[in-house]
């Protein structure tokens, strides 16, 4: 019988073993997929299939900015030891080069899969993203596991200020850029939660309706400020809000990445 390319591809996707080894295993077992997998296991080759289910809680985020383009690659693995190795960092750089060259996610995934066998751990390509904007700055935490990107509407925005805002995003993890971005559903959900809390609080019993409404309004306003980047107290100088530090109409978007 003739082994088809589709069978070889299927066995490779299951085991992540080299194409030629998959073909030889299928030929030796007369097209029997189960027996072919057993054959590869006997040879000690089919290791990656087990690795594919392992948790990947370590890794590294790499960011590069070229003028109005920002490239982000996040790659996770099983151990911090591998994340710091030359092999892992080399793969991360290779994937970054592929992203910048316009390669597809599928092509990057294939390169990653081939490296699983070499490096011996499960790895996940978590992010492969291109961000555009007039002015872009980023911040990557020293451990390489937290990072952020901020995008300005204006090309002449102070780059150092943008970097400090990026650091703020990494530290505070806001959900929205401006309060106007918060959905009515999110506000209504928070309102119902706060009303339930107030109803069950003995200290609220007997307070006038107007006082309760004022307290609820204050709580909702605080809720919006806490989850909105522009309204948050700036981590470098808590006396200022972020919108006072960078000006309210400067930022277009922000992104936060984590391992």
**What's the token pair of residue 4?**
């088809």
**Over residues 125-129, mean pLDDT:** 98
What's the CATH number of domain 58-157, 3.40.250.10, 3.40.50.2300, 3.40.50.10420, 3.30.479.20? 3.30.479.20
What is the per-residue pLDDT for 9?
84
**The total number of residues written for the chain in this structure:** 259
Q: Who contacts 215 (Cβ-Cβ below 8 Å, separation ≥6)?
A: 198, 204, 207
What is the Cβ-side half-sphere exposure of residue 71, based on CA atoms within 13 angstroms?
A: 17
Query: Domain ranges in the chain?
Result: 5-46, 58-157, 179-251
The larger pLDDT score, comparing residue 5 to residue 224, is at 224
Question: Is 251 in contact with 150 (CB distance < 8 Å)?
Answer: yes
With a cut of 70, say whether residue 46 has pLDDT above it: no
With a cut of 70, say whether residue 52 has pLDDT above it: no
**How would you class 149 by CB atoms within 10 Å of its CB: exposed for 0-12, middle for 13-18, buried for 19 or more?**
buried
**Over residues 110-116, mean pLDDT:** 89
With a cut of 60, say whether residue 48 has pLDDT above it: no
What distance in Å separates the CA atoms of residue 207 and residue 235, rounded to the nearest whole number?
36
What is the per-residue pLDDT for 21?
85
Look over the chain and give the mean of its residue pLDDT values, rounded to a whole number: 92
List beta partners, residue 61: 74
What is the per-residue pLDDT for 15?
73
- Give the confidence band of 116 by pLDDT, cuts at 50, 70, 90: confident
- Residue 28 φ then ψ, to 5°: -70, -25
CATH superfamily label, 5-46: Ubiquitin-associated (UBA) domain (1.10.8.10)
Look up tokens 């990057």; give the residue. Answer: 108
**How would you class 55 by CB atoms within 10 Å of its CB: exposed for 0-12, middle for 13-18, buried for 19 or more?**
exposed
For the entire predicted model, the pTM comes to 0.79
**Over residues 186-194, mean pLDDT:** 95
């Amino acid at each position: 019988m003739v082994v088809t390319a589709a069978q070889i591809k299927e066995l490779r996707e299951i085991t992540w073993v080299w194409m030629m080894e998959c073909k030889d295993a299928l030929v030796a077992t007369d097209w029997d997929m189960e027996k072919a997998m057993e054959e590869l296991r006997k040879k000690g080759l089919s290791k990656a299939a087990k690795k594919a289910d392992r948790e990947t809680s370590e890794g590294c985020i790499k960011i590069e900015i070229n003028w109005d383009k920002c490239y982000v690659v996040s790659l996770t693995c099983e151990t911090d030891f591998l994340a710091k190795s030359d092999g892992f960092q080399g793969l991360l750089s290779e994937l970054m080069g592929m992203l910048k060259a316009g390669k597809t996610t599928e092509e990057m995934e294939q390169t990653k899969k081939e490296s699983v066998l070499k490096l011996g751990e499960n790895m996940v390509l978590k992010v492969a993203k291109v961000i555009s904007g007039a002015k872009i700055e980023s911040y990557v935490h020293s451990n390489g596991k937290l990072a952020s990107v901020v995008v300005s509407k204006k090309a002449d925005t102070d780059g150092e200020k943008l970097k400090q805002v990026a650091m703020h995003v990494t530290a505070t993890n806001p959900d929205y850029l401006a309060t106007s971005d918060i959905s009515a559903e999110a506000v209504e959900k928070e309102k119902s939660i706060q009303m339930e809390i107030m109803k069950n609080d003995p200290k609220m019993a007997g307070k006038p309706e107007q006082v309760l409404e004022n307290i609820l309004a204050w709580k909702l306003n605080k809720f919006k400020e806490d989850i909105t980047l522009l309204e948050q107290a700036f981590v470098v100088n808590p006396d200022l809000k972020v919108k006072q530090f960078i000006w309210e109409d400067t930022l277009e978007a922000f992104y936060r990445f984590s391992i």
